[in-house]
Amino acid sequence: MKKYGLLSFVCFILALGIFLAFSFLKNGEASRQEYRLAPITKGSLKSLVSSTGTLNPINTVKVGSQVSGIIKEIYVDFNSTVNKGQVVALIDPAFYEAQVEQSRAQLQIAKTQLQESTRNIASAEASVQNAEAQLASSIATLKEAELRYERLSNLLSRGMVARSDLDTAQARRDNAKAAVDMSQSQIKSAKANLNRVLAQEKGSEALIEQRKAALNLAEIQLRYCTIKSPISGVVIERHVDVGQTVAASLQSPTLFTIAEDLSSMQVMVNVSEADVGQIAAGQQVEFTVDAFPQQKFKAEVRQIRNSAASIQNVVTYKIIADVSNDTLILRPGMTANVNIVTAEAEDVLRAPNAAFRFKPPGETTASSSRRIPPIRERETYKYTVKKLSLDAEQTKAYEAIIKEADAKLKQAYAVPEEQRDVQSAWRNYFTEIVRNLSQILKPEQSGAFQEYLRELKSYGEKRRQSNLRRAQVYILDKTGQPAVIDVMAGISDDSQTQIVSNEIKEGDKVIVGLNATGASGKTKSNPFSGMTRAWR
């Protein structure tokens, strides 16, 4: 029994050991991490701003009515082609024709009144002249009466005439004075009457002008009964029917909507404020419409409007792009799914977007192993030595300058990421190298150095124009561990980004993710893969 018990105990220990070994191997295999790699490729890239917009004619005119009335005739319909000045509808003109006739009659009455005023003026002028003649006669008679009175008065003082003769002469003199006064009053009355009829003439002339204006207004309203197209184009909307009454009392009612030329249209796109800075006039636009989902249409940005609109707390700006629609298959109001090409590059190195987001587990950019090639292996170092023909002593001094600048740049990267100013650090890096390099050159090297500076400036301008920015990707070093490489990232699309680097070439592989492989050999899914788009 002891033998069997000991054997059972040994078997139990063996089984337990095998189980623990199997579990250990399984757990160790499951915890082993493998990196997903993707190759660097070469090709073309387009940086796009995507949005939706609406197709509209470039010029749309709403044809209305300036007079009220009943629609008597309609001469065009939906999709009718019209020319400028063509009659498209007619409002019943009977009422306005009657107003024209009434205005004409009133104008004729005013003209008749003017003629009567003219005759009255002639009569009044004759009355004035007659009164003036009467006055002249009365004055002459008065003078004669005064002379006779004075003469008889002298004779009476001598006793040569009777007193009655003097009294008769005095009475005649007084009558003559009264006649003069009466003639003067008649002149004033005649002139007043003349002024009155002259005023009537002015009133008749003003009345004629008023009646002419009323007639002109009535004729204009009559002409407005005939609705004409102000432009050549296509009728895209008709809002009235024959027999319908339109009222133009408060605002002009719209009868038709006419698009000037559907062979040239425009896409109106709302772009968020985060993307509008990338857009400029002249950029190419690609879009599709739901009616032709397999066909891509081309457009060109014409205008970026400064008027902002807030849509669900997102500030947007309207972009206008011109579209050629020679086939007339695009229709006003269609929804366009728009891609605005903000940048484009041909035959460039491309890396997956995931490569720029990857970081090894538990490591930060500052603490990860950085692959920095030796100074003498750097392309910029080799080019500078060759371009400036540096001798051995200068080469050694130039290497020391770069080494000192590298140390300062490393200190800049040692700062916590939220406090790090990488752009300023790199600007100081290059500025210090160029400044110290100029101090070790000989006079005969100044010409080559000036040309070297121009090349650096040109490179900087090209880099700014190409929107290059500093970034990092990871590769596997010789030991199979991630090593970081500083690169320049350019334009990007939904899946790939332009990459510029002297250390990476086409076909090299970069790390894009992490896989955990178990003992069964099945690869577990990356829990971060679904968040790729959200992190972009």
| Domain presence at residue 365 | no
| Domain presence at residue 144 | yes
| Domain presence at residue 203 | yes
DSSP letter string, 203-216 = HHHHHHHHHHHHHH
Q: What is the CATH number of the domain that holds 248?
A: 2.40.50.100
- Cα–Cα dist 529/515, whole Å: 11
pLDDT in tens, the chain (536 residues): 444 444 554 455 555 555 544 444 444 443 445 888 999 999 998 888 999 999 999 999 999 999 999 999 999 999 999 999 999 999 999 999 999 999 999 999 999 988 888 888 888 888 888 888 888 888 988 888 888 888 888 887 887 878 888 888 888 888 888 888 898 888 888 888 889 888 888 888 999 999 999 999 999 999 999 999 999 999 999 999 999 999 987 777 899 999 988 999 999 999 999 889 889 999 999 999 999 999 999 999 999 999 999 878 889 999 999 999 999 999 999 999 999 998 888 888 999 999 888 888 766 544 444 556 788 878 788 888 888 898 989 888 988 999 898 888 888 877 776 677 777 887 888 888 999 988 988 888 888 889 888 888 877 776 665 567 878 889 888 888 888 888 888 888 888 998 988 778 899 999 998 875 543 344 443 433 333 322 22
Residue 241 sits in the same domain as residue 214: no
Count of domains forming the chain: 2
Residue 107 sits in the same domain as residue 184: yes
Q: Which of 236, 256, 276 is the last residue of a domain?
A: 256
- Cα–Cα dist 251/199, whole Å: 41
Residue 140 sits in the same domain as residue 171: yes
Residue 85 sits in the same domain as residue 125: no
Residue 187 sits in the same domain as residue 230: no
Q: Which residues contact 114 (CB under 8 A, 6 or more apart)?
A: 201, 204, 205, 207, 208
Which 8-state DSSP code applies to residue 403? Answer: H
Residue 186 sits in the same domain as residue 249: no
Q: Which of 201, 224, 247 is the last residue of a domain?
A: 224
Neighbours of 215 (CB within 10 A): 19
Residue 216 sits in the same domain as residue 152: yes
**The two structure tokens encoding residue 377:** 């292996």
Q: Which residues contact 197 (CB under 8 A, 6 or more apart)?
A: 117, 120, 121, 123, 124
| Domain presence at residue 289 | no
- Cα–Cα dist 242/478, whole Å: 87
| Domain presence at residue 331 | no
Residue 66 sits in the same domain as residue 100: no
Q: Which of 256, 274, 302 is the last residue of a domain?
A: 256
Phi, psi of 427 (to 5 degrees): -65, -45
| Domain presence at residue 494 | no
Residue 231 sits in the same domain as residue 184: no
Q: What is the CATH number of the domain that holds 141?
A: 1.10.287
| Domain presence at residue 251 | yes
Residue 185 sits in the same domain as residue 200: yes
Range of the domain at 235: 60-92+226-256
How many Cα atoms within 13 Å fall on the side-chain side of residue 124?
Answer: 20
Residue 87 sits in the same domain as residue 124: no
| Domain presence at residue 149 | yes
Residue 141 sits in the same domain as residue 200: yes
**The two structure tokens encoding residue 182:** 């009466």
HEC sequence for 408-431: HHHHHHHCCHHHCCHHHHHHHHHH
Q: Cα-Cα-Cα-Cα dihedral of 175, 177, 183, 186, to 10°?
A: -90
